[in-house]
Structure 1
């Protein structure tokens, strides 16, 4: 039996946010990773997706400028782009493991399971610690329809050696939309199926509808109210039957289940540790402690609170570390955390949605701005660009901001700064912005 002060289950951003500062503080730390050190974000999520998006962004910008002085065509070499992507991804596991070793953290590769509230088992090793922190993240959710058991998921798309001529994505969240846009701009014929008439529920519904129109305008076949009925392997391709009253068959060379992810907790044997959990993950308090076992913490996507975002995992990890070092010293502040759907154009939001503000009975106005008519978007010939900002005049504050269009992913950080740090609306209006920039438009958005 090996003894530690803290055992961290998971070697991704959440696990790193806990393990590294605890090791720096002199604690004896062990980290157990089931797959590869680095986690989903740098290996099978944010980072490879953004590298692939670089080619799509270039193609999108060039396409928008055709007829305004730009001629010719641009094509993506998928194999070359994938090699470039792997140059970011492949070195991560060994570098991450080496970085933890340099801090004196013992690392173990394998699936961990609780034996009792203070003991976990991995391979042939049993480890014990006063505190155990679960940071194992999410895994793709199965699609509960006949034939879908072996469907590829987003992980598979991000490691494809060749691009399918026809690609189909099932889901209406940011993963489905992002991959659909990448595939389209890389040259695939793309279909996206969503079971309801509402997509991207984390984002402003009006701007989400704009994004649907923008997607259709470039040739992505977005089908709403199209629940999947069955999935069938047809030769080297796939046939997906979807729809309500009269289902339609959609054929594709590759079809991807992008309907969501679930907490990766099935094999942890949490019952042996007395840890309460549910469909959203491990039940935790605002100090990131298990509500049923205070010696166990859960951080990142596996916890049942906070959005499934890497920056959220970071602040949750900081909170857990503070409480492990000094019990009951810190709670998580979820104010002003932005979300981005990296489509083309991108969709971003921070703070309250309009429906959330109304449910809280808040007094506010919505200031809507057609950014496509503003210089910084018009010069790029961008047809889809709009902002909706929720303003509380009497409280001198911004309640929420939602942006669709070029550079939305950067502009939203300005509003995140204002909301999280409670910068008065009047101070934003008094700010002098550089011109001509996208940020300059903030003075008209507030």
Structure 2
């Protein structure tokens, strides 16, 4: 019966079935000796690698077990985890490709004679991005080898509290034991399995960056309850390189982020060519004889159904932690039954004291690469370096790489009001125009900054939100001040660098409460 299955869903289920059969009998199949380590890290993403390398630097015997299950569409990649392979790195590079397209269009205003129309090659861009990612995969292998970290390309699961068994792609079983075990397996994109045709014909962020040919006309489907900034980021760079792109979303665009900023982002994207179907939920994906995909969706406001055809359907409806195949129950590790994330304490420890979890797989942690890296290093230092320093997850800065970038740190306006009350919160804000936009007369109507503060002097800064070019570079610097407890008064005493976009932060003087027009008109 299994041999008769066809299609990506069937192949995905067949791989899972075969792996389950192998691991069930693994204990009886092992003939070699068990290998022991001071630290075993399960997962070769940013957090796991950082933890492993730090422990090795401290003189410990360390192993990393990492295995990437191919996506339902068959996409596979190397060592480095989500960020390196199917996240931050390829996303930022493709975002840069779109920005360069805009710069080329602007170039003639600055005296450059550029032949029009300009053309973009997905194939050339993808090859360059993929080659860079492969070089990072190789670099991680070399770094582990240099630090004498033993690398196992195996799919790991627990046998007991100190022992893990791993199966490689050929079915060979390896047993590993360790005094300390760190789970850093991250997460994978979720598929809406209740929608017919979703898995058969759709792709996710696991696939988009590894496509050899252009995705063409693309539908981006976003979940009602997922932050999934990747949906807007991918839609932004696809539009930017000239592809017809539609974002279908049931509710708000960036859950968990400041909603005024989220609205400005979508306004900017709409005005620059990305189409949004708001309040819409797909119900059926059907492949046509032409090879195109027919998407049927329901408009929740009107209750009407509609259809359109696309070349690619990309799901961005949240992520699920990679915990289900770890056999955590055999080790006694507790998970949140609602989301399957591993429950941890401030020490990153699970319900089993010598087993830890870091990064996206851990309950209540930001799903951000830098937090996983820092948490991993600090954990290794606590275990083997006589340190007691804990990871501080407050005021973590981040950036959404939409065409107009959005950087933020601290509380959103909604969070600040909910925590302190409207009467105790002061919001300073401004619309501004980057100098670079003036010669080209580029639209800057969504370039906006706001600083959320306590109203009582000296007005502690609770959050900063920046929408504009190079938002990540701007936000990183101000994040230090906010982390150190900066007040509005101190920010106002800071001298800006002229002419820059970041100087507009230290010039914020109009509060929302005043009702005055917040548009910057000069120095």
Q: Which TM-score band applies after superposition, normalised by the shorter structure?
A: over 0.9
Aligned mates of 2:311, 2:293 — CA distance in 1: 6
SS in 2 for 1:436: coil
SS in 1 for 2:280: coil
Higher mean alpha-carbon deviation, 64-73 vs 151-160, is at: 64-73
For residue 242 of structure 1, what is the aligned residue in structure 2?
Answer: 297
1:38 has 2:80 as partner: yes
For residue 158 of structure 1, what is the aligned residue in structure 2?
Answer: 209
Matches within 5 A, 1:286-297: 286-290=346-350, 292-297=351-356
**CA positional deviation for 1:75:** 2.6
SS in 2 for 1:116: coil
SS in 1 for 2:198: coil
1:413 has 2:476 as partner: yes
1:267 to 307, 325, 328: 325
1:27 has 2:60 as partner: yes
**Conserved? CA contact 1:120–1:127, under 8 Å:** yes
Unaligned runs of 5+ in 1: none
For residue 134 of structure 1, what is the aligned residue in structure 2?
Answer: 183
SS in 1 for 2:449: strand
**CA positional deviation for 1:262:** 1.1
1:86 has 2:130 as partner: yes
**Conserved? CA contact 1:280–1:303, under 8 Å:** no
For residue 204 of structure 1, what is the aligned residue in structure 2?
Answer: 258
Query: What's the TM-score, normalizing by structure 1?
Result: 0.94
**Conserved? CA contact 1:387–1:402, under 8 Å:** yes
Higher mean alpha-carbon deviation, 388-397 vs 311-320, is at: 388-397
1:365 has 2:426 as partner: yes
Aligned mates of 2:259, 2:117 — CA distance in 1: 34
1:175 to 214, 230, 243: 230
SS in 1 for 2:83: helix
**CA positional deviation for 1:8:** 0.2
1:391 has 2:453 as partner: yes
For residue 14 of structure 1, what is the aligned residue in structure 2?
Answer: 47
SS in 2 for 1:281: coil
1:283 to 336, 339, 343: 343
**CA positional deviation for 1:237:** 2.0
For residue 339 of structure 1, what is the aligned residue in structure 2?
Answer: 398
Aligned mates of 1:74, 1:339 — CA distance in 2: 32
Aligned mates of 1:10, 1:126 — CA distance in 2: 16
For residue 194 of structure 1, what is the aligned residue in structure 2?
Answer: 249
1:57 to 86, 99, 102: 99
**CA positional deviation for 1:142:** 1.5
**Conserved? CA contact 2:349–2:355, under 8 Å:** yes
Aligned mates of 1:431, 1:31 — CA distance in 2: 46
Q: Cα deviation per residue 1:219-274 (whole Å; 9 max; x = unaligned)?
A: 21111111121222223221222222112112101111111111011111111111
**Conserved? CA contact 2:109–2:439, under 8 Å:** no
Would the alpha carbon gap of residues 378 and 307 (structure 1) be closer, same or farther in structure 2, given more than 3 Å must change? farther
Work out the number of aligned pairs and report it: 443
Aligned mates of 2:340, 2:405 — CA distance in 1: 27
**CA positional deviation for 1:390:** 0.4
Query: What's the TM-score, normalizing by structure 2?
Result: 0.81
Aligned mates of 1:365, 1:379 — CA distance in 2: 35
**CA positional deviation for 1:418:** 1.3
Aligned mates of 2:508, 2:295 — CA distance in 1: 43
CA RMSD of aligned residues (A): 2.0
